[in-house]
Amino acid sequence: MWLNNVLETIGNTPIIRLNKISEGIPGTILAKVDYFNPGNSIKDRMALKMVEVAEAEGKLKPGGTIIECTSGNTGMGLALAAVVKGYKCIFTTTDKQSKEKMDILRAVGAEVIVCPTNVAPEDPASYYSVARKLASEIPNSYFFNQYDNLANRQAHYETTGPEIWRQTEGKITHLVCTAGTGGTITGTAKYLKEQNPTIQVWAIDPIGSLLTHYFQTGEVDMAYVKPYIAEGFGEDFVPANYDMSVIDHFEQVADKEGALMTRRLAKEEGLFCGYSAGSCFQGLTQLKDKLKPTDVVVCIFHDHGSRYVGKVYNDDWMRSKGFID
């Protein structure tokens, strides 16, 4: 039977065994490959959920404008929902995001406003602040704020977690996931730990992000925040979607190692993934001594490599960052 619209294709993405790149890592190593969603990323799940909740609560009305600060993937999910449901979209993003991400958002009808990366979240020029200002000025608009919008993690509690539990037949022992807004890792982990509290949840964070230090100490110390190149994960503040009690360990990954591993996933497994997938798997390799041969590990690969052809998959860009000779 046919589907009524593209939104009905969101979710139920495959879990795929990693065979070559996982040699030397104990256990069965699997990837939940969420670039099979229609917007090519896991963020389609929470974008649709946030829209549905906003509609149900009367915050998003017919003909309204969706406003969000996004590194690209959430914007794509929201834009697809907007196309089907008849909303306008205005997105703020940062100047470190790939040109491909911005072009893709414009292709599906969104307006994109580019803001500086290396400013504090509360700075009037930050992409958070600009989004809030637009929402206060534009009639019949709603700022979704994926960072503090709990529909984000609820989407993964309702879909990603149950899918992983079902697809592994309840055998999963470890979840490995990059940490950004906190929605994916918190929602998925919460569901999985309710099924089996012994499941280990490992969060992968870029060096320069605030989150690892906050997890370890409970302190927000901006001295630990440094610029980093990796896209789509890591934060310079702690979003409300986090529940650190469902996370067992934070592991930091260097930009270079994450980028090189992203390329290896494409060449060795045929998985043309985004930057965060390589960082996720690199984090797992750094933790392999904690694994046993009987373990079943699921890594979440968030998005598609098409977003990064001008960066991670471009030799000139890689050389410019000192990642390859």
C-alpha 176/C-alpha 153 separation (Å) is 16
Contacts of 122 (CB under 8 A, 6+ apart): 128, 129
Indicate the pairing of strand 88-94 with strand 141-143: unpaired
Instruction: Judge residue 243's burial from the number of C-beta atoms within 10 Å of its C-beta, 0-12 exposed, 13-18 middle, 19 or more buried.
Output: middle
The catalytic site residues sit at 43
CA distance 194 to 190: 6
The token pair that represents 5 in the structure block: 């619209």
